[in-house]
């Protein structure tokens, strides 16, 4: 199937969107991106303004890649300074992805103190061990394990997937989702703060993980996750918005303290507005690409 996009009203860049570090389960084989979403293997490619895909319908693709987000307006709203404009110009067409909340939650619990290649490895291990094998084009893929597949495991089995100290958090969180204590559909209806407070009750979920789930899966575009990269960006390019003592202290440690987290993310929400999360993703991608060779 195909979708033809109008680049003026619906700019989209598939490579930037899948490479910017928000999702961990896609890989490019030849010209096609392959992924597993909603228990199905999907492939998709882009040539200019045409998206071609198999394994999913048009509605799914539009929803997953948030093609209804009116990017021209969103990007102009967050274009507050030269640095942001640079990021937007560099990765024009990068979109947030509407992820599955359960997979997103587990992924970011696992992301704690890990770099992106290692996160991909953990998630793939989980899927291979506890998901179901599916095929597309003679390639093998694995569905992401359901909550009740995780609750049937134990700490040791999860540690075999290289989860380390995150294993117990994934296990306990799976139980809470499985027994209905956490309902993603309900969280999505709540406002940002309320939903965040609910997520913060889960083991292994602090400020950063909660904001990632809110932004990437629960449609809270004002969420502004602050990890080591975002803290670095803020200190480098936005220090004038904070007092000097704050910046001086921030330079001492890499990962943000709870107080720094609050200062930075609330600044970002005020500064960038209701689409702060989009700004975060553009700035995150720029910071990683300029500092690293990943």
Residues that bind DNA (CB under 7 A): 20-22, 108, 111-119, 121, 159, 162, 164-166, 169, 200, 202-210, 212, 225, 227-230, 249, 253-255, 257-259, 280-281, 284, 288, 292-294
- Catalytic residue list contains 208: yes
CB of 124 to DNA, least distance (A): 10
Element (H, E) at 33: strand 32-37
CB of 278 to DNA, least distance (A): 11
Q: What are phi and psi of 34, to 5 degrees?
A: -110, 140
CB of 119 to DNA, least distance (A): 7
CB of 54 to DNA, least distance (A): 26
> Would you call 259 exposed, middle or buried from its count of C-beta atoms within 10 A (0-12, 13-18, 19+)?
exposed
Distance CA 67, CA 252 (A): 41
Catalytic choice (196, 208, 220, 231):
208
Task: Give the pairing type, strands 50-54 and 40-47.
Answer: antiparallel
CB of 72 to DNA, least distance (A): 22
Element (H, E) at 87: helix 82-90
Residue placing its CB nearer to DNA in the complex, 146 or 166: 166
CB neighbour list of residue 181: distance below 8 Å, 6 or more residues apart: none
* Rg of the Cα atoms in the chain: 19
Buried b / exposed e over 66-96, threshold 16 CB at 10 Å, is bbebebeebbeebbeeebbeebbeebebbbb
CB of 258 to DNA, least distance (A): 6
Distance CA 271, CA 256 (A): 19
Distance CA 181, CA 239 (A): 41
CB neighbour list of residue 151: distance below 8 Å, 6 or more residues apart: 171, 174, 175, 178
- Active-site residues, by number, are 208
């Amino acid at each position: 199937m195909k979708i033809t996009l109008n680049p003026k009203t619906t700019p989209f860049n598939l490579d930037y969107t899948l490479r910017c570090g928000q999702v961990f389960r896609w890989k490019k084989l030849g010209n096609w991106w392959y992924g597993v979403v909603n228990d199905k293997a999907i492939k998709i490619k882009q040539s200019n303004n045409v998206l071609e895909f198999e394994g999913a319908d048009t509605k799914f693709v539009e929803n997953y890649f948030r093609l209804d987000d009116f990017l021209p307006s969103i990007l102009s709203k967050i274009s507050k300074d030269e640095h942001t404009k640079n990021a937007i110009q560099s990765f024009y067409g990068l979109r947030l992805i509407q992820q599955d909340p359960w997979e997103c939650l587990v992924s970011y619990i696992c992301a704690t103190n890990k770099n992106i290649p290692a996160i991909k490895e953990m998630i793939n291990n989980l899927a291979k061990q506890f998901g179901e094998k599916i095929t597309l084009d003679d390639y093998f893929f694995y569905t992401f394990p359901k909550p009740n597949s995780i609750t049937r495991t134990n700490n040791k089995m999860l540690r075999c997937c290289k989860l380390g100290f995150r294993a117990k958090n994934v296990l306990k969180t799976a139980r809470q989702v499985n027994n209905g204590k956490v309902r993603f559909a309900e969280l999505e209806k709540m406002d940002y703060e309320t939903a965040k407070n609910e997520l913060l009750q889960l083991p292994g979920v602090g400020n950063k993980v909660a904001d990632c789930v809110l932004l990437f899966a629960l449609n809270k575009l004002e969420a502004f996750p602050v990890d080591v990269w975002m803290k670095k960006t803020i200190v480098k390019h936005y220090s004038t918005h904070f007092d000097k003592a704050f910046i001086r202290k921030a330079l001492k440690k890499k990962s943000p303290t709870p107080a720094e987290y609050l200062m930075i993310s609330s600044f970002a929400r005020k500064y960038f507005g209701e689409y702060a999360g989009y700004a975060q993703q553009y700035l995150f991608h720029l910071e990683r690409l300029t500092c690293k060779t990943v």
